[in-house]
Amino acid sequence: MSQPTIELVWQTREPALDAARGAVRRGMISLRLLPVWTEWKADDALKPRRLKCDPAGPRMYVNGHLAWTSERGWGDDVALARAIAELRERASRSGPRDPLSRRFKYVVLPSAALALVPKCPLCWIAYASITTAFGLAPLAARRAVLTALTLMLIVAAGAVIWRSIQLHASGPAWTVSAGTVLILFDAHTQGSTTIAYLGLCTVFGAAVWSAWPQSGGEIRRVARPQGTTW
C-alpha cells in the first residue's frame, strides 16, 4: 500500500500542536510508514479550501479526509494509528481519485458545448457581444465603451437584418432589433440588469435563428477560389 498523504491543520502555536505532531509521528511509525506529513497554518493563503481549521486545536487529514480532531485528544496512539490505517485502506480500495465524473465535468461537457454551438460569423459577433457586455457598468471608460457597444450592436443587428432580407425571413430581423433596443435601453439608462440579459438572449437567439439552415432560402455565394480551402 502506498504512503498516505497526512495533513495537519493548525491555527495558532499552542501546546496541542506538539502533542499532535508527536501522535502523528508515532502513529505513522507504528504503521511502518515513512514518518512525514504536511502541515498547514489556518491563515495560509495557499491552504486548500477542503482543509478546515478548528480553533479548538489541530486537525489531521488522511488522503484529504478528516481523520482526527483535537476533541479526541492526542494521547490515544492506537486509535489514531487505526484512523490513519482505515483511511489509507479506503483510499487504496477506491482507487485513484480523478474519476470519470470529474473528467466528464471538466472535459466532456465543455467540449460538447463548444462543438454544438453554432459557429456562423454572426454568431461569433453575438458571443463577443454577450461575453464582453458583462461588467460594463462599473468601467471608468463607460462612455467610450457604450459607444463601441452601440456600434457593434448596430453592426450585428444590421448583419442579421441583411441576412433576413436575403432569406426573405423577417423573424430574425425583428427579433434582433428588439434585442438591440433592449440592450441599448439598459446600457444608456442604467436600468434593470434583467432587461440587459433579456436583450442579450434575444440577440443571441436571433443570431442562431438567422444562421440556422434554411430549407427554401437561397443565398448567393461568391464562387470558392480554386486551390483554397475555407
DSSP states of 7-69: EEEESS--HHHHHHHHHHHHHHHHTT-----EEEETT-TTS-TTS---TTS-EEEETTEEEEE
- Contact pattern for other proteins over residues 31 through 60, marking x by CB under 8 A: ---xxxxxxxx--xxx--------------
The amino acid occupying position 175 is: T
Question: What is the grid cell recorded at 47?
Answer: 491552504
Stretch that binds other proteins, among 10-18, 110-118, 138-146, 151-159 (CB under 8 A): 10-18
Query: What's the CA gap between 65 and 178, in Å, rounded?
Result: 53
Measured between alpha carbons, how far is residue 6 from residues 88, 162, 201, 206 in Å? 10, 64, 49, 55
On whether the CB atoms of residues 23 and 80 are closer than 8 A, the answer is yes
**17 lines the binding site for other proteins (CB under 8 A):** yes
- Using the minimum distance from each CB to other proteins, give the nearer residue, 43 or 71: 43
Q: Does 96 bind other proteins (CB under 8 A)?
A: no
Least distance in angstroms from the C-beta of 207 to other proteins: 36
| Interface residue with other proteins, options 18, 72, 89, 108 (CB under 8 A) | 18
CA angle, 203 then 205 then 207, to 5°: 70
For 66-115, the DSSP string reads EEEEGGG-S--HHHHHHHHHHHHHHHHHH--SS-HHHHIIIIIHHHHHHH
User: Of 16-24, 63-71, 104-112, 133-141, which part binds other proteins (CB under 8 A)?
Assistant: 16-24
What does the chain come to in residues?
A: 230
21 binds other proteins (CB under 8 A): yes
Kindly state whether residue 10 participates in binding other proteins, applying the rule CB under 8 A: yes
**Taking contact as CB under 8 A, which single stretch among the options 13-21, 123-131, 134-142, 150-158 is the one that binds other proteins?**
13-21
Closest approach of other proteins to the CB of residue 43, in Å: 9
Stretch that binds other proteins, among 19-27, 119-127, 150-158, 204-212 (CB under 8 A): 19-27
Taking the complex as a whole, the smallest distance from the CB of residue 196 to other proteins amounts, in Å, to 37
- Contact residue for other proteins among 1, 2, 56, 107 (CB under 8 A): 2
Q: Which positions touch other proteins (CB under 8 A)? A: 2-3, 10, 13, 17-19, 21-22, 25, 34-41, 44-46
